[in-house]
Amino acid sequence: MNKAIPKFLQLCALMLCVSLSVRAEDKSGSIKGTVITADKRPAENVEVIIKALHKAALTDNSGAFNFENIPDGTWMLEVDIPGYAKVSESVLVAAGKTSSTTLQLNVSAQQLLHEVVIQSTRNKYKTDKPSQSLRLNEPLLEIPQNVQVVSAEALKDQQVTSMSDGVIRNVSGVTRLEHWGDMYTRINARGSQLSAFRNGFNVVNSAWGPLTEDMSFVDHIEFVKGPAGFMLANGDPSGLYNVVTKKPTGSDFNGSASLTLGSFDLYRATVDLDGKFDKKGKVLYRLNLMNQTKGSFRPYEFNDRYSIAPVITYKIDDKTSLTFEYTLQHAKMSNVGSYYVYSPKGYGEFPVGYSIMSPGLDPTKINDHSAFLNFQHKIDDHWKLTAQAAYFSYNQIGSSMWPSSVDSAGNMIRSVSIWDAASTMKLGQVFLNGDVHTGPVRHRILAGLDMGNKNYLADWNQSHNLDTPGSYNIYTNNAAAPANGYPVFDRSQSLATRAVYGNIDQRYSAVYVQDELGFLDNRVRLTLAGRYTDVSQASYGGTAKTAKQFTPRIGLSVSVTRDFSVYALYDQAFTPQSGIIRSGAEVKPITGNNMEAGLKKDWFDGKWNTTVSVYRILKNNELTGDPANTAGESFSVVLGQKRAQGLEFDLKGQIVRGLNLIANYAYTDARVTEVTPGVTAMKVNDRIPGFAKHNINAWLSYGVQKGFLKGVGVSGGISYQKDRDTWTWGQSGLAQLPDYLRVDAGLFWEKGNTRITANMFNVMNKFLYSGSYYGYGSFYYYQAEAPRNIRLTIAYKF
């Protein structure tokens, strides 16, 4: 274990002793209460304040709140909802005792829901708490880790349509490499690929990732930096993104519909229905529908989709609920290799709309099914049990295109390979959240069990050359029927039979416990956690490898003031890997150690916040090919060690009324620090490919608040990357990517239930692309982004 850990533990132990000695003389009590509406329903997400003590508490879904360590005396509790009469209640507190009270609002449950929604949309970009699927029952300000949330309003303002469509501009240090267009997302940060989660489940089942989620059924997206060992023990140490889907809100009925038109034949329609089946609100529903046809600035390229996403929640009683959710995403797109351009000379050699696509290739078709079952039971005021299961089924029939060869004169042979794939995932989780006290110490407890069975099958074993030698040249770009005809793949056998070397099978189980100990009236919070994971994985025809690992987590968060905290964190992750070492030595899993520290601050009564973090991640035991291999041998050796370190800054929120801003900056330095003797693929101090050393993003939105222009607004954003690395294959690139600058701008108008949004993307019409040098074929490849283009969305709430 890292030498810094014992010192860290000594500091935590000293802090514990000091806090206990200070609190031993403290004479205080507590207040436990409930807030109800005028029609005697629980008032959820209502802030209760004790102004004299500068304390605040937020009610849970049963309307309950709790104040600990309140001095002797009489204290005034207040609830103030704009537009309604303030409610206050005086409570007498005695040392060592708990006082109880109930506050009744002058607001009905329906009115309160409306007000909560209105308040949340006024501060469009700032979020204070993570979703329940992250399992942490505390404000973001108190979590000892960099967690960033991309809100639903930000996604709407930026007209984001899928997970790969501009989401990353909202989070520091996050980049996306070119990867078959809008098929897979593949997001990178902190020196590695982020793991993809949905509603708290790890949904990665191959090296490419899940099909990009359409935003029609997405509520918001959470980015967790670092390993997050409480849920990501068998994943990469860089972190994860968690897509949180829309759920019923409990309203009588809310609905919305939108129509989007855009450049390159984009036509998109969505419907969102939210309500309840009965007057008592025991059965709730949410239904999201989407249909889209989408062309491209490149010829013969398209990506048509539809999605269906129903959700049903049954409230068994005030403490227990059961939610079922199903999502179907269907995609029909042109051959996934059509996005790339290839050149023997370098990047950007051809016009932005250049393509090697032939119109006669069969499309790729994908059906992506997912189902969730979530059970929640509030045992009492202090304990809550959650159990959930998920089933994913993915089916793909299609092909991909890649050159067999490209020579210096531009003669190319285009090869089309079959790409049929099927994936199933069966996932289960049970976890317990507790919030209890032992004397003056508060305990936020998390304990649980994770289990999963993942299987991925793919057939890449059939290929067909479209061209004969000399029949196709990238400079003459003959898009007529290929000289060697179109492929006819043999699908007479089952995919399981054909996928001899395309089989990935993973089974895992894990138990974990976390206790966040709160001292000094919860101003000092010490997190101690551990997870034990057992993983078995077989990849690409190899034998199954088993890995068992304990991963610790130690964190410290201190509230300097009510709206300012500092934190430090040590965390680990590991990933099983397959291979054979010549000496017969045991193949160890990839391990990652993360050390992180940061500052979090809410400004101007919580209207906007900032996060600054620094981190250092070490990645060990990664395998690479043994340089001593002779023909027919496939032994591996340990590569050495990789290190990623950097600084991240994020700002989100309402600067002044009507003006909302998202801004971030990241410095990333990811390098190889140790290399096993004889390994030539990398050398010490080589930069890890796929990142920009400097990454800057900003998005601003301003709406006029009064006068005849009320409801009119402007928006705009920039994305800038400097000192970019390529994504290398086979050897280091011979040319680096140029700096990246994209500017977007927009207008919107909102009145009553109608909103019209128009954005122009890539205003400066820059030629933007990313790519790499393909060492095995001695050519460059790159994928261009769209030139200047527009989108217009008309949305109506009913």
Q: What is the CATH number of the domain that holds 189?
A: 2.170.130.10
> Distance between CA 66 and CA 59 in Å, rounded?
8
Sign for the pseudo-dihedral over CA of 469, 474, 475, 477: positive
Query: Where does the pLDDT of residue 1 fall: very low under 50, low under 70, confident under 90, or very high at 90 and above?
Result: very low
Q: Is the pLDDT of residue 236 over 90?
A: no
Query: Where does the pLDDT of residue 279 fall: very low under 50, low under 70, confident under 90, or very high at 90 and above?
Result: confident
Question: Rg for the chain (alpha carbons), in Å?
Answer: 28
> Distance between CA 768 and CA 95 in Å, rounded?
66
Q: Which residues are CB-neighbours of 196 under 8 A, at least 6 positions away? A: 185, 187, 202, 203, 204, 209, 210, 240, 241, 243
Structural tokens at position 654: 């309402």
Residues 491 and 377 in one domain: yes
Q: Which residues are CB-neighbours of 65 under 8 A, at least 6 positions away? A: 32, 33, 34, 35, 48, 57, 58, 59
Q: Is the pLDDT of residue 9 over 70?
A: no
Which of 21-25, 62-66, 164-168, 439-443 shows the lowest mean pLDDT across its residues?
21-25
- Phi first, then psi: give them for residue 118, nearest 5 degrees: -60, -45
Query: Where does the pLDDT of residue 663 fall: very low under 50, low under 70, confident under 90, or very high at 90 and above?
Result: very high
The number of C-alpha atoms within 13 Å of 69 and in the hemisphere containing its C-beta is 21
SS (H, E, C) 317-386: ECCEEEEEEEEEEEEEECCHHHHCEEECCCCCCCCCCCCCCCCCCCCEEEEEEEEEEEEEEECCCCEEEE
The whole-number average pLDDT for the span 127-142 is 89
Query: DSSP secondary-structure letter at 214?
Result: B
Highest mean pLDDT: which of 47-51, 108-112, 210-214, 786-790? 786-790
Q: Which of 375, 373, 464 is nearest to 416 (CA)?
A: 464
Residues 101 and 193 in one domain: no
Under 8 Å between Cβ of 77 and 101: yes
The whole-number average pLDDT for the span 627-643 is 73
> Distance between CA 402 and CA 388 in Å, rounded?
41
Q: Is the pLDDT of residue 306 over 90?
A: yes
Residues 189 and 232 in one domain: yes
Under 8 Å between Cβ of 766 and 742: yes
Number of residues that this document lists for the chain: 798
What are the b/e assignments for 558-595, b being 16+ CB within 10 Å?
A: bbeeeebbbbbbbbbbbbbbbbbeeeeeebbbbbbbbb
What pLDDT shows up at residue 24?
A: 42
What's the first-to-final CA gap in the chain, in angstroms? 57
> Distance between CA 302 and CA 764 in Å, rounded?
25
Query: Where does the pLDDT of residue 786 fall: very low under 50, low under 70, confident under 90, or very high at 90 and above?
Result: very high
CATH number at residue 113: 2.60.40.10
Last residue of a domain, one of 245, 270, 303: 245
> Amino acid identity of 31?
I
Q: Does any domain span residue 26?
A: yes
> Residue holding tokens 């708990």?
98
> Amino acid identity of 715?
S
The conformational region for residue 540 under phi > 0 = left, psi -120 to 50 = alpha, else beta, is left
The whole-number average pLDDT for the span 183-192 is 86
Residues 472 and 410 in one domain: yes
Query: How many CB atoms neighbour CB 684 within 10 A?
Result: 11
Last residue of a domain, one of 94, 121, 148: 121
Q: Is the pLDDT of residue 25 over 50?
A: no
Q: Is the pLDDT of residue 220 over 90?
A: yes
Q: Does any domain span residue 372?
A: yes
Q: What angle do CA 377, 379, 384 make, to 5 degrees?
A: 60
Q: What is the pLDDT of residues 342-352, one digit of tens each?
A: 999 989 999 99
Q: Which of 515, 554, 506 is nearest to 533 (CA)?
A: 506
Average predicted confidence (pLDDT) for the chain: 87
Structural tokens at position 356: 């090697």
> Distance between CA 285 and CA 275 in Å, rounded?
6
> Distance between CA 532 and CA 230 in Å, rounded?
10
SS (H, E, C) 182-199: CCECCEEECCEECEEEEC
Q: Is the pLDDT of residue 579 over 80?
A: no
* Position with higher pLDDT, 11 vs 186: 186
Q: Is the pLDDT of residue 23 over 50?
A: no
> Distance between CA 701 and CA 794 in Å, rounded?
18
Query: Where does the pLDDT of residue 27 fall: very low under 50, low under 70, confident under 90, or very high at 90 and above?
Result: low
Element of type H or E holding 98: strand 98-104
> Residue holding tokens 């609830």?
79
Give the 3-state secondary structure of residue 110.
Answer: helix
Alpha-carbon 721 to chain mean position: 21
What pLDDT shows up at residue 291?
A: 98
Q: Is the pLDDT of residue 18 over 70?
A: no
Domain residue limits at 75? 4-121
Residues 405 and 476 in one domain: yes
Query: DSSP secondary-structure letter at 166?
Result: S
What pLDDT shows up at residue 685?
A: 85
Q: Does any domain span residue 605?
A: no
DSSP E strands in 14-86: the ranges are: 28-36, 47-50, 55-58, 64-71, 73-79
Query: How many CB atoms neighbour CB 150 within 10 A?
Result: 26
Q: What is the pLDDT of residues 253-262, one digit of tens each?
A: 889 999 999 9
The whole-number average pLDDT for the span 730-750 is 83
Residues forming a β-bridge with 510? 450, 533
Give the 3-state secondary structure of residue 61.
Answer: coil
Q: Is the pLDDT of residue 731 over 60?
A: no
> Residue holding tokens 């492929």?
487
> Residue holding tokens 């609190």?
23
What pLDDT shows up at residue 585?
A: 74
Sign for the pseudo-dihedral over CA of 702, 705, 709, 710: positive
Residues 262 and 370 in one domain: yes
Q: Is the pLDDT of residue 284 over 80?
A: yes
Count how many domains the chain has.
3
Query: Where does the pLDDT of residue 480 fall: very low under 50, low under 70, confident under 90, or very high at 90 and above?
Result: low
Residues 176 and 236 in one domain: yes
Residues forming a β-bridge with 20? none
> Distance between CA 741 and CA 627 in Å, rounded?
40
Q: Is the pLDDT of residue 591 over 70?
A: yes
> Distance between CA 126 and CA 121 in Å, rounded?
10
Element of type H or E holding 15: helix 4-24
Which of 95-99, 443-447, 455-459 shows the lowest mean pLDDT across its residues?
95-99
Q: Does any domain span residue 11?
A: yes
What pLDDT shows up at residue 86?
A: 82
> Residue holding tokens 């605040």?
56
Residues 350 and 285 in one domain: yes
What pLDDT shows up at residue 21?
A: 44
Query: Where does the pLDDT of residue 732 fall: very low under 50, low under 70, confident under 90, or very high at 90 and above?
Result: low
The share of the chain scoring above pLDDT 90, in percent, equals 56
Q: Is the pLDDT of residue 367 over 60?
A: yes
Query: Between the CA atoms of 7, 12, 14 and 15, what dihedral angle is there, to the nearest 10 degrees?
Result: 140
Highest mean pLDDT: which of 99-113, 265-279, 496-510, 622-636? 265-279
Helices (H) and strands (E) in the chain, counts: 4, 45
> Distance between CA 668 and CA 156 in Å, rounded?
29
Sign for the pseudo-dihedral over CA of 129, 199, 450, 622: negative
Residues 158 and 284 in one domain: no
DSSP E strands in 540-658: the ranges are: 545-561, 564-575, 590-603, 608-620, 623-625, 636-638, 640-656
The whole-number average pLDDT for the span 211-219 is 95
Q: Is the pLDDT of residue 576 over 80?
A: no
Give the 3-state secondary structure of residue 128.
Answer: coil
> Distance between CA 524 and CA 518 in Å, rounded?
6
Which of 354-358, 650-654, 686-690 shows the lowest mean pLDDT across its residues?
686-690
Residues forming a β-bridge with 308? 289, 328
Query: Where does the pLDDT of residue 728 fall: very low under 50, low under 70, confident under 90, or very high at 90 and above?
Result: low
> Distance between CA 787 and CA 766 in Å, rounded?
7
Highest mean pLDDT: which of 42-46, 110-114, 704-708? 704-708
What pLDDT shows up at residue 232?
A: 59
Give the 3-state secondary structure of residue 104.
Answer: strand
Q: Is the pLDDT of residue 474 over 80?
A: yes
Q: Does any domain span residue 288?
A: yes
Last residue of a domain, one of 68, 95, 121: 121
Which of 122-136, 287-301, 606-620 shows the lowest mean pLDDT across its residues?
122-136
Q: Which of 144, 257, 179 is nearest to 615 (CA)?
A: 144
CATH number at residue 318: 2.40.170.20
The whole-number average pLDDT for the span 137-147 is 92
Residues 159 and 202 in one domain: yes
Residues 49 and 185 in one domain: no
Residues 173 and 284 in one domain: no
Q: What angle do CA 217, 385, 29 make, to 5 degrees?
A: 115
Q: Does any domain span residue 545?
A: no
What pLDDT shows up at residue 625?
A: 66
What pLDDT shows up at residue 147?
A: 94
What pLDDT shows up at residue 103?
A: 92
Structural tokens at position 277: 């089946």
> Distance between CA 719 and CA 662 in Å, rounded?
12
Query: Where does the pLDDT of residue 178 fall: very low under 50, low under 70, confident under 90, or very high at 90 and above?
Result: low
Q: Does any domain span residue 355?
A: yes
Query: DSSP secondary-structure letter at 179?
Result: -
Q: Is the pLDDT of residue 592 over 90?
A: no
Q: Is the pLDDT of residue 19 over 60?
A: no
> Distance between CA 378 and CA 319 in Å, rounded?
5
> Amino acid identity of 265?
D
Q: Which of 531, 515, 525, 383 is nearest to 445 (CA)?
A: 515
What pLDDT shows up at residue 733?
A: 52
Q: Does any domain span residue 530?
A: no
Alpha-carbon 121 to chain mean position: 21
Query: How many CB atoms neighbour CB 224 within 10 A?
Result: 25
What pLDDT shows up at residue 588?
A: 75
The share of the chain scoring above pLDDT 70, in percent, equals 89
